[in-house]
Structure 1
Amino acid sequence: MAKETFLKEIGGKSVVEQIVDNITNAIINGELKPGDKIPTENELCMSMGVGRNSVREAIKILVAYGVLTIKRAEGTFVQQDYDSKMLYPVLYGIILQKDSANQIVELRKIIDVGILQLAIDKLDLESLHIAEQAMKELEKKITAENIAAKDIFEADIAFHMALVEITQNALLKGICFYVDQITKKSRMKATEKFIDEKATERFLLMHKDMLRVLKEQNRDQINEVVEKHYQYWEQVKL
């Protein structure tokens, strides 16, 4: 691969970062396609004018991010399928922002609006039944005699994931999984707040509204329902 197309000067970045950028840009631009074998270490060193250690480090980073995969005795290839590890840099970047708490809430709102829009398009009787069962389980946990925030939280996650499954979108599923992981502490606090303030019926109604909008295919109410859904969470610091 020609040096002028594969190595671009990027000021202020380390050699390893430049190599990572060059390889990912080659994938984005179509110079490297999913399933393609990338040049060998020696070829990359020669085409970029960089050292072997830098190339190895860059490849390790891209493998860790799920962009490349190493096949022993064959070489290093561009990943052919979606890998949830690809989301790591994006989500870590959000977490490290100074205003990460608000940004994560905003991100989740946008995601939920998109999920409901897409779920309406792909809804069928089987997936609706699964979502309804998840709702029944959530209601069971909320109305239990010995109510527990952890049980409600887990049922809440299961309900939202049931909605995500309807979309049949692996990328959305991966994003939601990691957002759930990094917001577990704050969402647990929000759940405890509902319990302490004896507002569990309101908590349940918010979820029933999401399911109702889905069943009625009422796109006009999606934004309103999602906005109400996060009122308590917004009051809790991450």
Structure 2
Amino acid sequence: MALQAIKKTNISEQVFNQLKQQLLDGTWTPGQKLPSENELCAAFGVSRITVRQALQKLTVLGLLETRLGEGSFVREFTPGHYMNEMIPAMYLGASSVEEIFEFRVIMEVEVAGIAARKATDADIERLSQSLKRMTDIRGDINAYTKEDFHFHMILAEISGNSLVIHLMGLLTDVLEAAIQNVTRTIGEDSGLKYHNLLLEAIKIHNYDMAKTVMREHVEIALKNFKATSALSE
């Protein structure tokens, strides 16, 4: 996405939002040096003070680091940085995705089992509708990813554990980003298969089956992601 000249309203915020979006889109990757302040001023058509304010804001958020005499550089991130919801999440390399999926195994396997025990007919209908939407929108990665995460959020809500629900809410962006990263790499077939199996386990309230399916779902997705990523290197 090319940088665009700024309209003369909320100038500083517009510059900040465009720079942030470049980071989220992966236009500038961790460790890369950003264009100079003068180059950014020319691209945006704004003053140096405006550009500097936006860069400082990104630095405060931890997205950039300023090196004296060198300029501004994109910071390297790990999932642990994301415990503050101000920090955007699309910043995920392969090692970060692996950590996130390991976290999902730790938390979501048990959540699936508890959901299988507690699910009501209404809960099962919610999951069924979510799975139908996933099937209908396959091919649209952004929409599919959001619905994929929504399915897992429903499981958390069915568990009734307020800590799990709150944590999933706090980590929405980073979990969606990891799911999207993996789905772009391995496709949607595996996810749809395991969501169907999860739904079947929950319909019959089978605690052990739900946990087994969830574990396989996350671990196989990560395994395929790592294998495919290695081939493309």
Give TM-score, length-normalised by structure 1.
Answer: 0.50
CA separation of 1:221 and 1:121: change in aligned 2, threshold 3 A: closer
C-alpha separation between the residues in 2 aligned to 1:232 and 1:128? 24
Deviation at 1:131, TM superposition (A): 1.3
Deviation at 1:155, TM superposition (A): 1.0
Which residue of structure 1 aligns with residue 39 of structure 2?
Answer: none
Where does structure 2 lack aligned partners over 5 or more consecutive residues?
1-81, 88-94
C-alpha separation between the residues in 2 aligned to 1:121 and 1:221? 11
CA separation of 1:162 and 1:118: change in aligned 2, threshold 3 A: same
C-alpha separation between the residues in 1 aligned to 2:204 and 2:170? 29
Which of 127, 152, 163 is the matching residue for 2:144? 152
**Is 1:202 matched up with 2:198?**
no
CA separation of 1:214 and 1:189: change in aligned 2, threshold 3 A: same
Contact 1:152 1:191 in 2 (8 A): no
Deviation at 1:222, TM superposition (A): 3.1
For the residue of structure 2 that corresponds to 1:183, the secondary structure is helix
**Is 1:124 matched up with 2:120?**
yes
Matched-pair identity in % = 21
CA separation of 1:140 and 1:193: change in aligned 2, threshold 3 A: same
Q: What is the RMSD computed on CA atoms of the aligned residues?
A: 2.7
C-alpha separation between the residues in 2 aligned to 1:120 and 1:184? 23
1:162-183, CA deviations, whole angstroms, 9 ceiling, x for partnerless residues? Answer: 1112122221111122333223
Deviation at 1:101, TM superposition (A): 4.6
C-alpha separation between the residues in 2 aligned to 1:104 and 1:209? 22
1:138-217 matches, within 5 Å, as 138-142=134-138, 147-195=139-187, 200-217=188-205
Which of 107, 110, 126 is the matching residue for 1:114? 110
Which of 102, 105, 118 is the matching residue for 2:101? 105
C-alpha separation between the residues in 2 aligned to 1:229 and 1:191? 12
1:107-146, CA deviations, whole angstroms, 9 ceiling, x for partnerless residues? Answer: 211211121222123211111111111111111112xxxx
Deviation at 1:150, TM superposition (A): 0.6
Deviation at 1:152, TM superposition (A): 0.8
Contact 2:149 2:176 in 1 (8 A): no
Runs of 4+ in 1 over 6 A off after TM superposition: none
CA separation of 1:114 and 1:223: change in aligned 2, threshold 3 A: closer
CA separation of 1:123 and 1:185: change in aligned 2, threshold 3 A: closer
Which residue of structure 2 aligns with residue 233 of structure 1?
Answer: 222
Contact 2:130 2:147 in 1 (8 A): yes
Number of residue-to-residue matches in the alignment:
136
C-alpha separation between the residues in 2 aligned to 1:119 and 1:187? 21
